[in-house]
Amino acid sequence: MSDINKRMNRVISATMPEIFPTDGISQAFLHQLKKMLKADRDLANIATREIVERLTVVNNVRNDPSISLCSLLKTKTKHSNHTTPIVSHATCYLSHCRDYRFIDLIGTLAKNFPQSLCSTTYVWIDAFCLSPTQLIRHDWCSISV
C-alpha cells in the first residue's frame, strides 16, 4: 500500500470510524464471485447494487438495514478456514459504481491490479461496505442535476 493510502487510512480511521467503515472485500473473493455470476446467464448482467442487495438478503437473517454486506461477510467468515481473510482493512477505494455491471467492475479491477496482488488487495466498494441505511443517506451524491 502506498504511503499516501496508509496516511489516508489513518486519518479516516481516527476521524470517522462509525460513519466511514474502512474494511474492504478481498479482490480474490470478488473474482470468485464474478466467476460464479458469469456462469449464470441471468446474473451476468446485473448491476453491482442488485448483487449486493441479493447477497445481503441471503446473509442478513435479522434483516437489519444498518448492517453492510461487508460486515455480514466479516462476521460469517470470522472463524472459517480461509487462508486469506475475505474482509480486512481496505487498500483501495471505489465509490459511485453501484449502477454498473458487477462483472465490468471486477474486470476493471483485474486490469488495474496485477494477479500477484490479488490476495493482498482489499477493495472498499460503497455498495459492499456501507449499510443500506448509509447508502440511502449518501445517495444525494449520485443525483444528476
The residue among 85 and 144 whose pLDDT is bigger is 85
Q: Residue 20 and residue 70: Cα distance in Å, rounded?
A: 13
Estimate to the nearest angstrom the gap between the alpha carbon of 37 and the chain centroid. 16
All three cell numbers of 103: 462483472
Q: Which three cell numbers stand for residue 85?
A: 481473510
The answer, yes or no, to whether residue 145 has pLDDT greater than 50, is no
Residue 119 has pLDDT above 70, yes or no: yes
3-class secondary structure, 105: helix
Q: What is the mean pLDDT of residues 105-123?
A: 83
pLDDT digits (tens, 9 = 90+) for 64-110: 777 888 888 888 777 666 677 889 999 888 888 888 888 898 888 88
Structure confidence at residue 24 as a pLDDT band (50, 70, 90) = very high
Instruction: Give CA–CA dist 142/117, Å, rounded.
Output: 30
**Count of residues for the chain?**
145
Mean pLDDT rounded to a whole number for the chain:
77
| Spatial contact of 24 and 92, defined as CB atoms under 8 Å apart | yes
Give me the pLDDT at residue 140, please: 42
Give domain limits for the chain. Answer: 23-142
> Which residues are CB-contacts of 53 (< 8 A; sequence separation ≥ 6)?
none
At 76 the pLDDT is 78
Taking the C-alpha atoms of residue 101 and residue 98, their distance in angstroms, rounded to an integer, is: 8
Q: In terms of pTM, does the model score above 0.75? A: no
Q: Give the pLDDT mean for 52-73.
A: 77
Q: Return phi, psi of residue 29, to 5°.
A: -65, -40
